[in-house]
Structure 1
């Protein structure tokens, strides 16, 4: 059985995926907030 060394795994792909998900979520929240503000201003 292979020996496991804590902290030796390459996690750059996982970090990039997580950062992309967070960026997407924040941008989506901005769009939703802009739509809500637009609807509140013009009451459509």
Structure 2
């Protein structure tokens, strides 16, 4: 049988927390404004299509 070697994982040196926080802030901002945009579209549809 073949020998089973240890698995090597590619790892980065250190964590880039400032970039992680910027990415999370952008995600939450887009989620908030996307929700507001969809709500606005629904209100406009309610007004103009009834």
Q: When the two structures are aligned, how many residues end up with a matched partner?
A: 39
Larger of the two Rg values belongs to structure: 2
- Root-mean-square deviation (Å): 1.7
Runs of 4+ in 1 over 6 A off after TM superposition: none
Please, which runs of 5 or more residues in structure 2 have no aligned partner? 1-10
Which has the larger share of helix? Answer: 1
Q: Which of 6, 16, 19 is the matching residue for 1:14?
A: 19
Q: What is the TM-score when the length of structure 1 is the normalising length?
A: 0.77
